[in-house]
Every structure is written in C-alpha cells, then in structure tokens.
Amino acid sequence: MKRRGRAEARETKFEATKHLDEQGILIHIENREANEGLMKVIDELGETCKKILLLFYYENRSMKEMMMELHYENEQVIRNKKYKCLKKLEQMLADNKSLYNKLKNYLHG
C-alpha cells in the first residue's frame, strides 16, 4: 500500500506539472515565432536599416559608434536614418496584424 501511495503521489504530481510544462513549451514556441517574424520583417527593411536597428537596439551602440562604423558624416544623419527605419518598420508591422499581435504578446508577456 505504501508503494501504491507513493506511485499515486508521483502520478498526481506529474499530471499537475504536465499542464505547466505544456504551457511553457507553447509560450516558448510563440516567442520564437514572434522573434523569427520580426527578423524576417527587419530583413525586408533592407541592409542599411537592418544594420542600424540591430546595432542600436541589440548591440546597444551609441550614435557616435554607429556613425563611425557605418561611415556617416555626423550623428544627426544616423539619427534621422534610424527614425526613418523605425517608421518603416512600424508601418510594416501595422500591415501584418498577425505578427504585430504576436510581438505585442511577446513583449508584454
């Protein structure tokens, strides 16, 4: 009876955590899909915009560092370019409601 009790306890614990594991896997898959979708849209922006946005947001580079690396004449030029790239990205996301909602859930989740 003791063994049966322990086996039942393990089974109960497994069933209780199984649902949580499935939720975690689903969340992970949704997050990965959102990230892949975002990278696809960023690729569609073009090489220059992709470089600027990735340097600024993923590598946390300063405008001065980006200016030197991308060979622009001053920081204002790169700042303006980044702004235009962001606006273009926002428009592309607005046109793709499914991806927009996935990213929104990903960022607020």
Give the tens place of pLDDT for each residue, 90-109: 888 888 888 777 777 766 65
Going by pLDDT thresholds of 50, 70 and 90, the confidence category of residue 36 is: confident
Going by pLDDT thresholds of 50, 70 and 90, the confidence category of residue 9 is: confident
Burial annotation 21-43 (CB, 10 A radius, 16+ → b, else e): eeeeeeeeeebeebeebbeebbe
Count of other CB atoms within 10 angstroms of residue 51: 17
Give the tens place of pLDDT for each residue, 42-81: 888 899 999 999 899 889 999 999 999 999 999 999 999 9
Place of tokens 């405008």: 63
